[in-house]
């Protein structure tokens, strides 16, 4: 496997976490959430999503399972709610 193919596979693996984190982060920006800075909020959302995807890969032995995507949305959504703060 070439280096380009490897990075393509890694990018395809983390793309769902990146997409959900980006949508939730934009929602936090609209509401002007102030618990952390915008860069930190995005990084925390993205990192939590990647952890969920890796955990799903370990548990199920392959990626792309629907329970993993459901857990991804649940974890990142709950984290965004917490980051929203008051």
What are 45-80's pLDDT values in tens digits?
A: 999 999 999 999 999 999 889 999 999 999 999 999
Instruction: Report domain extents, the chain.
Output: 3-84
Sign of CA dihedral 10, 16, 71, 83: positive
User: pLDDT-derived band of residue 86, with 50, 70 and 90 as boundaries?
Assistant: low
The pTM score is: 0.89
Q: How far is CA 71 from CA 4, 31, 34, in A?
A: 29, 24, 25
Q: Tell me 61's DSSP state.
A: S
If we measure between CA atoms, which residue out of 20, 33, 36 comes closest to residue 68?
20
- As a whole number of angstroms, the distance between CA 32 and CA 4 comes to 38
């Amino acid at each position: 496997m070439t280096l380009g193919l490897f990075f393509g596979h890694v990018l395809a693996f983390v793309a769902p976490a990146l997409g959900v984190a980006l949508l939730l982060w934009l929602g936090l920006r609209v509401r002007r959430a102030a618990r952390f800075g915008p860069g930190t909020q995005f990084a925390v959302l993205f990192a939590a999503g990647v952890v969920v995807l890796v955990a799903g890969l370990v548990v199920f032995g392959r990626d792309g399972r629907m329970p993993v995507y459901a857990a991804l949305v649940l974890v990142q959504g709950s984290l965004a709610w917490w980051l929203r703060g008051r």
